[in-house]
Amino acid sequence: MKLTNFILFLSTLVTCQCFSERENNFTTEFLYFTQSETAGHAAVSPYGVWNMLSLLKLLTVGNTKIQLQRALFLPKSSIELIYGLKNLSDAVLGSHSGKSTVFSRNYLVIDQNVSLNYMNLVKEAKIIGMNIIPLDLNELDTAVILANRIMFDKGQESSVKVPELIKIDEIHPNGITLANVNRFQYVWRNTFTSVTVENFNDKNNRQIGKVNMMFQKVNAACAQIIPLKSQVLELPYGTDGKYAMLLIKPWLKTKINDVFQMMTTFTYGQILNILNMQPPTVVYVKLPRFKINTNYALNIPLSKMGVFDLFEKKYSQFYGVPRNSLFVPAVVQHVSMEVNEVGLRRDMVQPANRTVAFYAYRPFLYFVIEKTTDTIVLSGVYSKPTVY
């Protein structure tokens, strides 16, 4: 019995790692094209969008299906896809300490009179946590209010104002609107000890604003990675080792977009391997305190990644549905994230022969990683300084 359980555990782990690599391949391109639409300052959940569109792939046929499969790096087998998604979702969003808020939920808004002929849709949507919202989309004003309230009532205090994630021009009686909602707040393993207002500069070290800069001295993995022309630091959250933030600070005069270009050939796995090989290091860390809330319509970034037909009624193809009768008017996402100085403890720093400084005075990339699968849950670019 123990051997059987061990074999099952190994097979689940392998499946999670395989699907994590698929999602991470999607991440760099997705973040690049999204931030290019937002003047370079962005926060997205590639995991949430990838998971949501992966289920949608099961409903499509023809070129629509092929485009999704290529952009998302998905397997051809529907069974492999469904259970790979479930295992990865269980690992990424499963158990974590009580000091966290990790919330990612997907919604599919569709007219209550539209019948999708994919027979296992409800069952398989449930497996990976997709919430189907059938509404009367002929009454657009009412449908928008109801859809937004349903999405934000779940897991949210009643006193919180319901944001308008889906807008009236993003739903259609013949459409499937997809929405992904994320909230991430996690406590650092180690407390930042001070916060001071300091300058924030551009890639050429010219001042572009002020930030509340947090400071800590910590034992952490940090390296100069030449293929990325960047300094990289990993800071752990919590005490369970489940989540960490990966920070990538380009070298002086190196553009964020240049780093994106280099990351198409130098993978997250390679970055993490280099960090894992670093000797014991004392790192002096300075990081801006910030809070970010984003609402994005993702049609343009996804189109630039090769997903075209999905958004055009005359081209989109769905299983068992007459051509030119169903399409996706919008894929939207909400991300809420706070980065502050709060930590669980103030560890004694262990002496080390290597001491480095990681000062995030210039635009940088950040990635929240689930460590058991190396899945990127949330990613972003910090480039517009604010005193928060």
pLDDT of residue 14: 41
Specify the pTM. 0.89
Distance CA 55, CA 110 (A): 15
Give residue-wise pLDDT tens across range 298-322.
999 999 999 999 999 999 999 888 8
Task: Render pLDDT for 99-116 as a digit per residue (tens, 0 to 9).
Answer: 666 788 899 999 998 877
At 4, is the pLDDT very low, low, confident or very high (cuts 50, 70, 90)? very low
Per-residue pLDDT at 175 exceeds 60: yes
pLDDT above 80 (res 88): yes
As a whole-number percent, the residues of the chain with pLDDT over 70 amount to 89
322-341 confidence digits (pLDDT tens): 877 899 999 999 998 899 99
Tell me which of 159 and 219 has the higher pLDDT.
Answer: 219
Residue with tokens 């449930």: 126
Give the pLDDT of residue 155.
46
Question: How does residue 97 score in pLDDT terms, banded at 50, 70 and 90?
Answer: low
Q: How confident is the model at residue 139 (pLDDT cuts 50, 70, 90)?
A: very high
How do 221-225 and 176-186 pair as beta strands? unpaired
> Could you read off the pLDDT of 252-300 as tens digits, one per residue?
999 999 999 899 888 888 999 999 999 999 999 999 999 998 999 999 9
Confidence band, pLDDT 50/70/90 cuts, at residue 13: very low
Q: Where in the chain are the domains?
A: 2-186+292-337, 188-289+342-382
- What are the Cα distances from residue 126, in Å, to 107, 308, 332? 11, 27, 20
Domain 188-289+342-382 has CATH 2.30.39.10: yes
Cα(88)–Cα(93) distance, integer angstroms: 8
Token code pair at residue 4: 């059987």
Q: Which residues contact 42 (CB under 8 A, 6 or more apart)?
A: 31, 34, 35, 294, 296, 380, 381
| pLDDT number for residue 196 | 96
Token duo for residue 367: 């990635």
Are the C-beta atoms of 212 and 325 separated by less than 8 Å? no
Give Cβ neighbours of residue 21 (< 8 Å, ≥ 6 apart). 269
User: How far apart are the C-alpha atoms of 295 and 56, rounded to whole Å?
Assistant: 21
pLDDT value for 250: 97
CA-wise closest residue to 26 among 52, 63, 61, 65: 52
Nearest to 220 by CA among 280, 287, 289: 280
pLDDT of residue 95: 60
pLDDT at position 98, please? 52
2-186+292-337 against 188-289+342-382: fold identical: no
> In this structure, are residues 360 and 288 in contact, taking their beta carbons and an 8 Å threshold?
yes
| Residue 9 confidence class, pLDDT cut points 50, 70, 90 | very low
Tokens of 37: 């639409």
Q: What is the mean pLDDT of residues 192-210?
A: 96
Task: Tell me the residue ranges of DSSP E strands in the chain.
Answer: 42-44, 100-111, 130-135, 176-186, 188-190, 194-201, 207-219, 221-225, 230-236, 243-250, 281-288, 290-297, 331-339, 343-345, 354-359, 364-370, 375-382
Fold of 2-186+292-337: Antithrombin; Chain I, domain 2 (3.30.497)
Query: In this predicted model, what pLDDT tens digit does every residue of 46-79 receive, in sequence order?
Result: 999 999 999 899 889 999 999 999 999 888 888 8
Residue of 93, 49, 57, 100 whose CA lies nearest to 75: 57
